[in-house]
């Protein structure tokens, strides 16, 4: 077992609230030291509605920043609509979609994680990608210019 891991699996159920509270406060202190570290929303907790800036947030799965027109593709038969420099916005990506990765500037998916096909291929191609943005295919307009931040997991409308 590595440092910080529970030595005995069943010990998980014997942890006291005070121990968890201590770990949580240490976590918050470390988070404040390096704001570039991005934690998924389920680790940060909910923010008040007033704090949310324009845009959407997901899980960063491939680093980089990309900007381009959103190309919403819900079916592999529509991949022919994808143009050079588009940001591919899809529910999920499977091997059939790989043919457009040479064209796209960025990738946004509703479903998937670090090991999903879209995330792995995006990293191989060096394409910034964000996953886990539920409902993004219905919130972004096709052709709307968006910015994908593969470091923080933010997707924002491009401010002209």
Q: Residue 63 and residue 122: Cα distance in Å, rounded? A: 9
Q: Contact at 8 Å (CB) between 150 and 60? A: yes
**Catalytic entry in 63, 117, 139, 156:** 117
Active site residue 117: yes
Query: Which is nearest to 107 in space by CA: 138, 139, 137, 141?
Result: 137
For strand 87-90 and strand 106-109, is the pairing parallel, antiparallel, or unpaired?
parallel
Where in the sequence numbering do the catalytic residues fall?
117
């Amino acid at each position: 077992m590595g440092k910080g891991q529970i030595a005995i699996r069943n010990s998980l159920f014997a942890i006291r609230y005070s121990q968890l509270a201590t770990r949580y406060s240490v976590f918050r202190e470390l988070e404040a030291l390096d704001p570039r570290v991005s934690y998924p929303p389920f680790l940060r907790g909910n923010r008040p509605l007033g704090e949310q800036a324009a845009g959407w947030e997901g899980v960063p799965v491939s680093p980089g920043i990309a900007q381009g027109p959103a190309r919403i593709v819900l079916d592999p038969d529509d991949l022919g609509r994808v143009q050079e420099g588009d940001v591919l916005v899809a529910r999920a990506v499977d091997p059939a979609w790989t043919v457009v990765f040479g064209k796209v500037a960025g990738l946004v998916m509703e479903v998937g994680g670090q090991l999903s096909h879209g995330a792995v291929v995006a990293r191989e191609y060096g394409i910034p990608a964000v996953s886990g943005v539920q409902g993004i295919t219905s919130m972004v307009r096709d052709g709307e210019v968006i910015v994908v931040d593969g470091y923080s997991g933010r997707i924002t409308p491009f401010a002209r």
